[in-house]
Structures are given as C-alpha cells and as structure tokens.
Structure 1
Amino acid sequence: MARLTQVALLFAGLLCLMCLSGIAHSASPQFFVEGKVYCEVCRANFINKLSEPMAGAKVRLECREEEAGSITYSVEGETNDQGLYRLPVQGDHDEEICEVTLVKSSRPDCDDLPDEGWAQKPVSRVTLTSHNGIQGNTRNANPLGFAKKVALPQCSEVFKELADDQDF
C-alpha cells in the first residue's frame, strides 16, 4: 500500500510539473512579427533608393475575427534606429485576420499616411498560425512607410531611372 501511495504522489508531482511547464510555455510568445518602417521621400508608395529607415515610429498588430471583425489580439511596438520592429505574439490566430498598421511617425517632416492608389490603407497582413506549413516562429511583414508632404527634387531622377530599367 505504501508503494501505491508513493507512485500516486510521484504521478501527481509529475502532473503538476507538466502543468507548470505548460503555463510557462504559454506565457512566452508563440510568434514574432518583424518588419520595417521607412520615410518615403518621393511619395511613390514603394521603397526606392532615396527611402529612409524611420527610427522611433510606432506600429500596431491587430488580429480580428474573420466574421464578426472583433479585435482578439493587439500589441504595439516601436522601430529601432534602423527602422525595424519585432512584435511578440501570444497564441495561434488561425481563424483570424492579422495586420500591422502604422500608428505614429517619429518625424514631423514625414508623417503623411499614403492615401493614393493601392496604398489607401497602409497595412501588412501576416499569417499567425502553425497550421499552414510555414516553419519557424518568425513572420515577416511587408514594409510600411510614412510619406513626406512634398517629394524631394531628386525623386524625378529616381523615376527616370526606373522607367529606363523597364523592358517592355
């Protein structure tokens, strides 16, 4: 009978350790979303050789239910001196739409949100699930940029170079 009690206590202790391990594991981020924020000095809505990394810009990741649109997860972050951010994400968001958006520019001379053409809502959608074949826990978001109010004069040369490079 004493042997049975010892086995039961050992089993209960192992079960407690497994539960604590699960709690510790769930407290750590399941994913990291990484991306870049830049100042688009040509108002072209894409990165070019004149675009400048933006340090200190604020971004937000939000996940929403596909049907109802209710926010299920949200986290904010700030870019480093190279314009890069890394956001920790808790949980698997398989049935949700997750997007990174620009929150606040760190530069008063470059704080316009793009509102022309395809960039009417500057967001980067990311997939945050482990049920789709993507390996690893890092997800890369597309670059996002604030724009200057007026394009720099040297932008015309960049556009000319781009046009000359096209093979139609």
Structure 2
Amino acid sequence: MARSSVPLIAVLCVSLLPLAAMAVGTPFLVEGRVYCDTCRFGFETIATKYIIGATVRIVCKDGVTLKQEVVGEAVTGGLGTYSIAVTGDRHDQQCQAELVKSSMHDCHVADPGRSTATVILTRSNGAASTRHFANAMGYLRDQPLPGCAALRKLYLSDGDARAI
C-alpha cells in the first residue's frame, strides 16, 4: 500500500510546485481593450475604433475599510490593448479596471455602462493563471459616424452586419 502511494506523492509534488512558486511572487497580469463607440450604441460593433494612447488604471477597494488604492496604470498600445502588472494577492478586495483618459479628442466621454471592468486578483479562488482578461471598456464619440442609423437598422433586423 505504501509503495503505490509514492508515485502519487511524487506526481503531486511535481505538479503543485509551479503553482506554489507562482503564488509567492508572480504578479497578476490584467489585459484588456479600450474602444471608441463610434455609433453610441453602448457596445462594440463593426464600426468600433480601438483607441491607442488611452490611460487605464486598476483600483482595488478594501472590503472592510473601503479604502481605495491604485495598484497599476498603463497606456493602450496597438489595437487599443493594455497590460497592467499588479503585484501581491488582493484577497477579498474589490478590484476594477477603470478608464482614466482618452487620447481621441472627439471620443473622450466614458460610456457610463462600459467605463469599468471587474477583475479578481487573488489566488485563493483556485485560479491557476496569473493572466486575467478584463471586459472591454469604451468611450462615446461626440457625434455618431454617418452610417450608424443604417447599422442600427441592420442590427435590429438580425441581418448580416458584415454586408455593410
């Protein structure tokens, strides 16, 4: 009986070592995208433009003291993507990616329904990866692009949006 458990223990040690090492000091990596809602629909469409040069930050709020702390900030690169390294396990803190500033002069008002994205930054929930993806966040264009009315009509008709 003892003899058959030795291989099992060895396998468990080898497979759990990387998880233990990851938990010690590897930062979380939060990734996401920032877009301009060119039609002011409240969601991404085929007319959406992704914003290069937008500023995003990660803010965590303690569940007991309600104290907020900015734990990371980044500027979007190509395709409107950002990547923020956050050190330390945030345990039961409530963390969110937040829009800070748009680089587009005609698309700089944050969409109230898409200006934040919740991110869970703890290892106590059994997550094996330190890489986390936040929902896309968006700004509203000052004036909708020409053609947005036709796009809305197409979306409402369940038509093929790729035809536009």
Give the alignment's TM-score, normalised by structure 1: 0.76
Matches within 5 A, 1:101-120: 101-115=98-112, 119=113
Matched with 2:117 is 124
Matched with 2:53 is 56
Q: Are residue 46 (structure 1) and residue 48 (structure 2) matched?
A: no
Matches within 5 A, 1:78-89: 78-89=75-86
Contact 2:57 2:70 in 1 (8 A): no
Specify the code of the residue in structure 1 equivalent to 2:102.
S
> Which residue of 140, 145, 150 corresponds with 2:138?
145
Q: Are residue 135 (structure 1) and residue 132 (structure 2) matched?
A: no
Q: 1:65: Cα distance to partner?
A: 0.4
Q: Are residue 36 (structure 1) and residue 33 (structure 2) matched?
A: yes
Identity of aligned residues (%): 31
Instruction: Provide the C-alpha distance between the structure 2 equivalents of 1:144 and 1:73, rounded to a whole number of angstroms.
Output: 18
Unaligned 5+ residue runs, structure 2?
1-20, 160-164
- Deviation by residue 1:51-94 (Cα, 9 ceiling, x = unmatched): 00100000010111013210245211000021000000101112
- Deviation by residue 1:81-136 (Cα, 9 ceiling, x = unmatched): 21000000101112100001100100101111224xxx1x7210001111112221
Matched with 1:18 is none
Between Structure 1 and Structure 2, whose CA radius of gyration is higher?
Answer: 1
Instruction: Provide the C-alpha distance between the structure 1 equivalents of 2:110 and 2:36, rounded to a whole number of angstroms.
Output: 10
Q: 1:152: Cα distance to partner?
A: 1.2
Aligned residues: 137
Instruction: Provide the C-alpha distance between the structure 1 equivalents of 2:129 and 2:145, rounded to a whole number of angstroms.
Output: 40
Residue aligned with 1:33, SS: strand
- Runs ≥4 in structure 1, deviation > 4 angstroms? none
Give the alignment's TM-score, normalised by structure 2: 0.78
Contact 2:54 2:76 in 1 (8 A): yes
Instruction: Provide the C-alpha distance between the structure 1 equivalents of 2:125 and 2:66, rounded to a whole number of angstroms.
Output: 22
> Which residue of 57, 77, 82 corresponds with 2:74?
77
